Amino acid sequence: MQKGKWGRRLGILGLVVYGIFILFPIYWTVNTSFKHVGDVYKVPPAFIPPDFTLEAYQFVLQGTGRIALGNSLIVGILATVLAVVLGTMASYAYSRYPNTPLTNETAQFNLLTLRMFPPIAFLLPIFWFWKTFGLLDTYFSLVITYAAFNLPLAVWLLKGFLDALPRSIEEASYVDGYSFWQTARRIVLPLIGPGLAATVALTWIFIWNEFIIAYLLGGRNVLLYTAYLPSLRRGMRIMWNQIAALSILAIIPSIIILIFFRKHLIKVYLR
Amino acid sequence: MLFPKRMPKRPLYLIIPPQLLVLAIVIFPLLWAIYISFHSWNPTISPERRFVGIANYIAVLKDERFLASLGRMLYYSGVGVTIQLVLGTLIALALVEYIRSERLRTFALVVFLLPMMMAEAVVAQMWTLLVTDTGTINNILVWLGFSPIGWRTQKLALTTLMIVDIWQWTSLPLLIAYAARISVPERLLESARLDGASKFLILRKIILPYMRVPLAIAFLLRFMDSYKFLDKVFIMTYGGPGTATELPTFYLYQTAFSYFNVGYAASMSWIFGIMAVVAMLIFWRLTKRA
């Protein structure tokens, strides 16, 4: 009995230490974002901002930071919609008609291969592809590229939800005289609604968080926040408080999604 | 009878738009990359493409810088992903075993998952502030009377990146291990306890077998991602100091976008990409057998 108690204490201690390890960098970023830049490097380090200020947030939200966050939002939303719409179409075909040359197991596996290849290996040809059409650094090229890269994820997630939906429900709907699209709109989509929502959330996070595509295919006309963030570190004096403020603003949407979808996230990885 | 006559054609309408997108953005550029990989071409020097056969491929396989970067990747992925897996499993088990309150457990889980939801670019920035020479961690060390640590030196830089990656991505195996652990039927554990089995025996004979396949999948997912690893190298060290953190993805980036040695980079992409797919197929097989 005594031994079990010590095991428990040790276990809880481990969890607390790990919690501190996880939270410290986040706490420190929040802390830094409320400091004047002069206070950032102080020894001993200031665990609470000595002179609490919102100037970093003001700077980030007035200038390029706001443009970059706005661009990320636009590209993220459009690309997510495109990826999920096309992903729903593809996963329905994969799930219900797995016997044509375009939808058999090989075709499905080929789509997944996309996720195995390192993106950087694709980006050289894609860079020249968009350059050739004069579309480099536009909303169009970024949205299309992001949608293509995240299509496999959307298909992989959605197919699981569709496979779990019994076919007899759709058959009953046809018997009632509904057409294909009516069935899709009134029966299938509402029934996989929660799965669809989780897919939208995860796809959006992947696109929102992406860096190298944003850096290589965008940057001047369409500057996304992930590409803007490193550029804040150039120059004589590194504005750590601004970097921290932009970082905090950028992780807020993901935290909201995490809190809303925590149960779904666990379910997704249960399969 | 149940389906309208036009039904069987529907999947083709549905599958064509997604396939077209993949064809345009992925297949077509990849085929172009094969074509280019047989040429010597540097558009910043001359627009002319010279056919060189498989010379590029041979040169890549003999390129010591490329081979050295592969070695770094093996260290980085092998050690890093193993630590993530072991740590994630331990934390997940401790969470289920020692936290009784359902609410507290979910709260802890959400906190532990936070890093995974953040952009690599943001994480890289956050940690750079912590590990620069006059950064937070060193300031705390100096304040406590220790000597500062050279996190970004030749010797330590790759390991520093590994620590940051462990910070961010232990979440994923943790989540998978947690899901696997709570899927063990409570009845099974109860009857084992009644039979007087020790905790260690229950762990080894009942819980771990349930977790084996999910953990293999977690390893697969993490290995796949660390294979693609680029963002943190790019932002935190830019491959340096020297070539200390130059992983294959970064060398590929340099060749393609700094030196614009396009033909050479294209053949490197293909070699690296094929290696990725082969590695995945092997792991896939092993997972299925497990």
Cα distances (Å, whole numbers) of residue A109 to B73, B248, B274? 26, 25, 15
Q: Which residue of A has its CA nearest to B139?
A: A43
- Looking at residue A3, what is its pLDDT? 56
pLDDT digits (tens, 9 = 90+) for A57-107: 998 898 899 999 999 999 999 999 999 999 999 999 888 888 888 878 877
Burial A109-141 (b: 16+ CB within 10 A, else e): eebeebbbbbbbbbbbbbbbbbeeeeebbbbeb
d(Cα B261, Cα B59) in Å, to the nearest integer?
Answer: 13
Of B178, B199, B276, the CB nearest to A116: B276
| Residue B6 predicted with pLDDT over 50 | no
* Count of CB pairs separated by less than 8 Å, A with B: 266
Radius of gyration, CA atoms only, chain A: 23
d(Cα B248, Cα B169) in Å, to the nearest integer?
Answer: 20
Cα distances (Å, whole numbers) of residue A42 to A84, B148, B198? 47, 15, 52
Q: Which residue of A has its CA nearest to B120?
A: A209
- Looking at residue A21, what is its pLDDT? 95
| Residue B3 predicted with pLDDT over 60 | no
A4: Cα within 13 Å, side-chain hemisphere: 6
Instruction: Please name every residue paired with B50 in a beta bridge, in sequence order, or none if there are none.
Output: B40
Question: Given its phi and psi angles, is residue B119 left (phi above 0), alpha (psi -120 to 50 degrees) or beta?
Answer: beta
| Residue B167 predicted with pLDDT over 90 | yes
Q: Which residue of B has its CA nearest to A42?
A: B139
CB contact under 8 A, A171 and B256: no
Average pLDDT of chain B is: 87
pLDDT digits (tens, 9 = 90+) for A101-118: 887 887 787 777 777 777
Of B106, B110, B125, the CB nearest to A243: B125
| Residue B48 predicted with pLDDT over 90 | no
Structure tokens at B120: 């690599």
CB contact under 8 A, B29 and A125: yes
Of B112, B123, B269, the CB nearest to A121: B269
* Residues in chain A within 8 Å Cβ distance of B124: 230
Of A40, A94, A209, the CB nearest to B118: A209
Helix (H, G, I), strand (E, B) or coil at B23: helix
State the nearest Cα–Cα gap between A87 and chain B, in angstroms.
7
Helix (H, G, I), strand (E, B) or coil at A40: coil
* Residues in chain B within 8 Å Cβ distance of A90: 14-15, 18-19
CB A213 within 8 A of CB A123: yes
- Looking at residue A173, what is its pLDDT? 84
Assign B186 a pLDDT band (cuts: 50, 70, 90). confident
Structure tokens at B283: 């792991």
State the nearest Cα–Cα gap between A124 and chain B, in angstroms.
7
State the nearest Cα–Cα gap between B155 and chain A, in angstroms.
23
Percent of chain B with pLDDT strictly greater than 70: 95
CB A220 within 8 A of CB A139: no
Strands (E), chain B: 39-40, 50-51
For the ranges B16-20, B255-259, B286-290, which has the lowest average pLDDT?
A: B286-290
pLDDT in tens, chain A (271 residues): 455 688 889 999 999 999 999 999 999 999 999 998 888 888 788 888 888 889 999 988 988 999 999 999 999 999 999 999 999 999 998 888 888 888 788 778 777 777 777 788 788 889 988 998 999 999 999 999 999 999 988 998 898 888 888 888 888 888 888 888 888 888 889 988 888 998 999 899 999 999 999 999 998 899 999 999 988 887 667 889 999 999 999 999 989 988 888 877 766 665 4
- Looking at residue A180, what is its pLDDT? 83
| Residue B94 predicted with pLDDT over 90 | yes
Enter the pTM of the model: 0.89
Q: Which residue of B has its CA nearest to A29?
A: B126
CB contact under 8 A, B280 and A116: yes
Q: Which residue of B has its CA nearest to A260?
A: B110
**Identity of the amino acid at B167:** W
Q: Which residues contact A87 (CB under 8 A, 6 or more apart)?
A: A151, A153, A154, A155, A157, A158, A199, A203, B18
- Looking at residue B5, what is its pLDDT? 44
d(Cα A29, Cα A46) in Å, to the nearest integer?
Answer: 12
* Residues in chain B within 8 Å Cβ distance of A226: 119, 121-122
State the nearest Cα–Cα gap between A174 and chain B, in angstroms.
7
Q: Which residues contact A141 (CB under 8 A, 6 or more apart)?
A: A130, A135, A217
CB contact under 8 A, B235 and A87: no
pLDDT (average), residues B219-224:
84
Length of chain A (residues): 271
CB contact under 8 A, A229 and B121: yes
pLDDT (average), residues B155-166:
93
- Looking at residue A267, what is its pLDDT? 67
Assign B1 a pLDDT band (cuts: 50, 70, 90). very low
End-to-end CA distance of chain A: 37
Q: Which residue of B has its CA nearest to A89?
A: B14
CB contact under 8 A, A86 and B17: yes
